[in-house]
Amino acid sequence: MTKSSRIVMMVAIAQFVPLLLFPWSLTLGSLVAALIIAALCAVLGWALLQRKWWGRTLTIFVQGLNVIIRVITLFNNVYSEETGANVPLLITYILSVVGSVIILSYVDRPQVQLVFES
């Protein structure tokens, strides 16, 4: 197994973490949302392992969108006048953004790009 193949496999597995990293409440709506996100990650992981070009493209889109949404909603959701700072949410936001940025940096490497072009 080449280094590029190992990177693709790690990304396929690790992409679940940033998207599901959220302090979930135990409600039906949050369970459905988590299952939809997990299903999306499973399809993208399969596409990456099968070397589908659209898998890489959608992984970049989904992870980039995760970063944008977390940054946009960070200040609005993490602090409020009534309750103060929501530290667990802040930690999960930061970890999620860092995880997505790491995944994006691996997917955008030239040797990984070549795997999907061949």
Q: What is the pTM of this model?
A: 0.83
Pairwise CA distance, residues 59 & 13, whole Å: 12
**Whether pLDDT at 1 is above 90:** no
Pairwise CA distance, residues 66 & 110, whole Å: 23
Pairwise CA distance, residues 116 & 54, whole Å: 9
**Whether pLDDT at 100 is above 90:** yes
Q: What is the pLDDT of residues 17-42, one digit of tens each?
A: 887 777 666 678 878 888 888 898 89
End-to-end alpha-carbon separation of the chain, Å?
A: 16
Residue 16 Ramachandran class (φ > 0 left, ψ -120 to 50 alpha, else beta):
alpha
pLDDT of residue 60: 93
Listed by start position, the domains of the chain span 3-117
